[in-house]
Structure 1
Amino acid sequence: MPVLEFKNVSKIYKQGENEVQALNDVSLTVEQGEFIAVIGPSGSGKSTFLSIAGALLNPTQGEVILNGKNLHEIKPKDLAKVRLHEIGFILQTSNLVPYLNVLDQLLVVKRMAGKVTKEDKQYAIQLLQELGLGEKLKKFPEQLSGGERQRTAIARAFMNNPSIILADEPTASLDSKRAFEVVQLIAKETKLRNKAAIMVTHDERMLEYCDKVYRMEDGRLSLDETSTHKK
């Protein structure tokens, strides 16, 4: 069973008397262990696509299926649980809590979901060690480099063992070296933990780490065979 499916999804915004079609009949399937990229110019519909994939926005038409569940049929109060337990988000900036150290950045996710156990703490430490942050557990965001903050954000996204990771321009605030490191780590963790991952990016240098590349233009999504240069 696919992790995520878009079935003929469209999204129309009303602007006064006018309508703007942000997504136009988008269909997509993402499997376990698959890391895909979505590229396209500003205003092409990428942000709307990611918001719908993350259960933050409802489509005007079509279906979005996550782990076999139609998101449109889930009550709004239950969608919050879906976002917490089944979706991991990585944003353009790390969005770390300034007064929490690196370890607690991850444990706060478990506190939101319920009680923090000894196993949760061990898992958080394991994730941080995998991402090269084993020596930074007690450091606060202001004591970290930009790359370290973004790596912490990656670890946090995986903390609740979600089915899918959604990354919105995760390298936008990083230099080239750190950007490559971050995308490599997302790809590595996706494969290691058999998750699905979608990255929206404008930086086509990062596409070599993705299994598939899709191009968004005027709200339409198509597989871009020419952009895939996976190592």
Structure 2
Amino acid sequence: MTGIQLKNVTKRYQENEFETIALNDVSLTIEAGEFVAIIGPSGSGKSTFLSIAGALLQATEGEVFINEQNITHLNEKELSAVRLKQIGFILQTSNLIPYLTALDQLLVVKRMNGSVTKEDKIFATELLNDLGLEKKRNKFPNECSGGERQRIAIARAFMNDPAIILADEPTASLDTNRAHEVVKLMANEVKARQKAAVMVTHDERMLDYCDRVYRIEDGILKEETNLI
């Protein structure tokens, strides 16, 4: 299976005699080309889910597979390689580097993994063009709008051709029109490039762009069937 799979994942936090269950026996499979949303109130387990799916945090129980590779018991060096090569992250804010142009924001991802080739530059340009940023390639973040900066961040997430795209509240800093624009473009890229994508969001206006919607409360994940 190309994509991501969580099998019976539980995450517990122990503090003195108190135990908190952040995720409770969560199972979920997302295949290539699927765009899935996870909604829920603050403190429900959304961030923990993303951290475990993104190889940033290890589960207390259960297993996580990315492209059929079990990453559950990998060491930190191996997990770092998984994050760099297999996962693209899109955060609440674009987190762009102020002194890099839009094109260089993407190419720096390749520099982290070695050298930059001519093909890398062509691919970065293609990504920016796909996201309507052809006129912004040589612009710095302060020369771009909030929506444009978030689109650059989306392009950056696809730059290493990862299997998985994880988006954490990608519309949090955008107005309604720009939010729709950004999520629609993200969904299009997920389909066109056959990525398995998860978007954690409070913004239920964006759910029409998703194939499936799950609600998480008290660490328990359930599919919503009456939203879209």
> TM-score scaled to structure 2, two decimals?
0.99
SS of the counterpart of 2:226? helix
Match of 1:27 in 2: 27
Match of 1:86 in 2: 86
Write the distance in 2 (CA, Å) between the matches of 1:86 and 1:12: 26
Write the distance in 1 (CA, Å) between the matches of 2:61 and 2:179: 35
Write the distance in 2 (CA, Å) between the matches of 1:155 and 1:64: 26
Instruction: Judge which range, 167-176 or 2-11, deviates more.
Output: 2-11
Match of 1:56 in 2: 56
Q: Percent identity?
A: 66
Write the distance in 2 (CA, Å) between the matches of 1:22 and 1:45: 5
Cα pair 1:2 1:29 within 8 Å, conserved: no
Q: Is 2:119 the partner of 1:119?
A: yes
Q: How much has 1:60 moved relative to structure 2?
A: 0.4
Amino acid at match of 2:19: E
Match of 2:144 in 1: 144
Match of 1:194 in 2: 194
Match of 2:222 in 1: 222
Cα pair 2:2 2:163 within 8 Å, conserved: no
Off by >2 Å, runs of 4+ in structure 1:
none
Q: How much has 1:2 moved relative to structure 2?
A: 4.2
Q: Is 2:203 the partner of 1:203?
A: yes
Match of 1:129 in 2: 129
Q: How much has 1:14 moved relative to structure 2?
A: 1.5
Write the distance in 2 (CA, Å) between the matches of 1:12 and 1:2: 28
Write the distance in 1 (CA, Å) between the matches of 2:16 and 2:200: 29
Amino acid at match of 1:168: D
Q: How much has 1:74 moved relative to structure 2?
A: 1.8
Write the distance in 2 (CA, Å) between the matches of 1:79 and 1:203: 30
Amino acid at match of 1:183: V
Q: How much has 1:73 moved relative to structure 2?
A: 2.7
Aligned residues: 228
Write the distance in 2 (CA, Å) between the matches of 1:24 and 1:176: 33
SS of the counterpart of 1:148? helix
Q: How much has 1:227 moved relative to structure 2?
A: 1.7
Match of 2:5 in 1: 5
Residue deviations 1:161-199 (CA, integer Å, cap 9, x gap): 000100000000000000001100110000000111000
Write the distance in 2 (CA, Å) between the matches of 1:204 and 1:220: 19
> TM-score scaled to structure 1, two decimals?
0.97
Amino acid at match of 1:102: A
SS of the counterpart of 2:105? helix
Written as runs of structure 1 = structure 2, the 5 A alignment for 1:62-77 is: 62-77=62-77
Cα pair 2:45 2:217 within 8 Å, conserved: yes
Write the distance in 2 (CA, Å) between the matches of 1:80 and 1:181: 32
